[in-house]
Chain A
């Protein structure tokens, strides 16, 4: 088996009395999409926060490639190769679409200390940004102010910013949320290809998308991984159906 790109070992996190992450060990191997599913409030976003930084685990560790990044800041983890998208878009709403992606490109170059030459004339940076926008289908609206984008376009822009980082692993929190059937479809196609560039840890509520995309699924309930396996295994698991899928069907 190939070495995981990203892994957590025995992560634990409690908020006061609430156990949000309970001994979670997952990994992400090259070329795969590993989906994390679970009911609302199961602790998916909290888990992602611990992987990407911002939420400090009470115990356990996070590994990216060979390095233990548990004590890295969010920025250092991004530098080390984590590309994250947010469940609730965290974009610079006053800026244009292009400027938002440019931020990702600058982040990757780790050289924000350029004070004199205009950012929008830095040809190399603009080209990388446009390439990322092209891929998510936002190239035409590159000059629009982000606040004017539709919800779906903002989701795409989230992904474009992460693409601009050319990370070693993607961590995506509900990229399909609110996309509608058609948007969901094209995003599914897109992510399906993207996994070959860098594996994706995917948190998603859209079951059709998850079943279409995932190489592996882990089910998180009350902060615990109750099952982990292939799509068919998860579909067949009685435990999962009782705890989670059963509620819906």
Chain B
């Protein structure tokens, strides 16, 4: 098999073939939308989930953005050698963080953190019959487990992404004035030169969709976990691979549709 296709094949192994898997994920998504009406079931779970998705992910997202911002500024000035005015460093750092790296790197980092966490937790509940127990206690499991996590993703991914974008820009700015002989005025001049309010909308649309995709895929693989500890490990890996790929596909989709 071609190495490039391996991740796709991996998704198909053991129980959930790729196309059928997408169908069943769509089914779960539809069930999730329908389950939103059970407000009494999920409402008190939303805040704790937002705290988990949001607060727990802020350090890793900021860490990634910090170093990305530094590298972006340095690479921009390296590329522009003389031919292009240096304030374009500000343009590049701002646009790239906002349109691409802020949302995508944050999304990928959180698919590892949040997606894996959700898949492992729900997968364990599945194999220890805790999801069955929820049902016998008359809780709709999708409303209890999926809705608060998906909503937390939708709400918190944009927040974390916005913080990451801010951190990347600040890191780029400090790099520019410390290492590149640029003035703050130059940098901010560049930053605002081609800025459009739509950039923010675009970044937030991406972050929102990534928030949903990562949490819902984590829930999906958790729900379909089979077997014991090995099954849970399997579900976790699959959730991370699938949601990372989904982020990249979705990222291209938004670029095609919105730009």
A and B are interacting partners:
no
Chain B interface (Cβ < 8 Å from any Cβ of A) = none
